[in-house]
Amino acid sequence: MIEIKREKKFFALGEIRLESGERLRNAQLCYQVVGTPNRSRDNLVLIPSYYGGTHWGSLPLLGADGPLAGGDYCVVLTNLFGAGWSTSPSNAAPGQGGADFPRVSLLDNVRAQKALLDRLYGEDWQLALVTGWSMGGMQTLFWAMAYPERVRAILPFCCTAHCWPHNRVFLEGVKAALCADAAWLGGRYSVPPERGLRAFGRAYAGWAYSQAFYRHELWRELRFESLEALLDYWEQDHLEQDANDLLCVLHTWQSADPARSFGDGSLAEALGRIRARAILMPGSSDLYFTVEDARHEASLIPGAELRVLESDWGHCAGGPGRSAAAMQQVFAAMAELLGR
């Protein structure tokens, strides 16, 4: 069994040109590596981070019940631009901080991750698997489109490649809750917009889980004594985050459009680029990355399988380490893709 410690390193990219045409100065990618590459460097597994989280939040995917725990794989975990550890509005170079931070896309993140892997492992390497939850899964799908020759298998769960209209509207709602705070000042606040951050967290909690999760009081499995305690947790979690960072990554999510990034305006052409063996695992009760949207995307990916993650936990079913029953389903698909 591999020993897992919480570590973080930084890869300096310098100035990079973004998909928007803007430039991000002094760009850094925060990451961690767990395990050792084999001689042929084809045992690499990439796990990009999810919205509101860091790469540490994905470490449960290396847990003892899963196929990545034995030390056979070299796992690289990365952090999204804008999320607070990689270059973000809260830590950017002078002139690009806060509201002046440039717009970053999923493809920008994937290209930076590719540069990191090139730096770490040279030019001859192969990803045995790319996997991730939520925005981590969105990046997984973008990886398979951007570099189809580099990726053998993908397991994106509780996500889609495209931000579909209802998903976008949900995000507009939580964004509006934050920006309604008088302290927001268009992102040029001198003190954190705490009321807006609290409202953002409370509004988000209603979407993150399903109706059944609340009806059956499944929040008790998370050791909350009351519904109000759960909502308080969501408030506190968002108070700890920078408002500009939250909305920066939210924009990255909302702007996800493979047809624009890869195709000629055709989602089918973009997803048709994927050559990796693919299991797409939407959550059965996910309210914004729906099974229907994921099924449509799976139909456009050559040889892809749609395997529904059955859970009453809504979108949070896929949260690494949150629901043991859901994780067993993820681990089973992961083991299949890795041939374990």
Q: Which residues in the chain belong to E strands, given as ranges?
A: 9-17, 23-34, 44-48, 74-78, 127-133, 153-157, 277-280, 305-306
Alpha helices in 88-134 (DSSP H): 106-121
Q: Give, for 235, the enclosing helix (H) or strand (E).
A: helix 227-239
Kindly name the residue from 58, 90, 134, 255 that is annotated as catalytic.
Answer: 134
Contact in structure between 81 and 112 (CB atoms under 8 Å): yes
User: What is the C-alpha to C-alpha distance for residues 75 and 73, in angstroms, rounded to an integer?
Assistant: 6
Kindly name the residue from 55, 162, 238, 315 that is annotated as catalytic.
Answer: 315
Contact in structure between 279 and 304 (CB atoms under 8 Å): yes
Contact in structure between 320 and 59 (CB atoms under 8 Å): yes
Please list, in sequence order, all residues whose beta carbon lies within 8 angstroms of the beta carbon of residue 299, skipping any fewer than 6 positions away: none
Q: Amino acid identity, residue 274? A: I
User: What is the C-alpha to C-alpha distance for residues 322 and 313, in angstroms, rounded to an integer?
Assistant: 9
Tokens coding 240: 């700890």
Nearest to 126 by CA among 74, 78, 77, 79: 74
Q: How many other CB atoms sit within 10 Å of the CB of residue 327?
A: 22
Rg (CA), the chain: 19
Please indicate whether residue 286 is annotated as part of the active site.
yes
Contact in structure between 123 and 143 (CB atoms under 8 Å): no
CA-CA-CA-CA dihedral for 163, 166, 171, 176, to nearest 10: 140
Kindly name the residue from 286, 293, 311, 312 that is annotated as catalytic.
Answer: 286
Place of tokens 């449509």: 296
Please indicate whether residue 86 is annotated as part of the active site.
no
Q: How does DSSP classify residue 218?
A: G
User: What is the C-alpha to C-alpha distance for residues 227 and 219, in angstroms, rounded to an integer?
Assistant: 7
The catalytic residue positions are 134, 286, 315
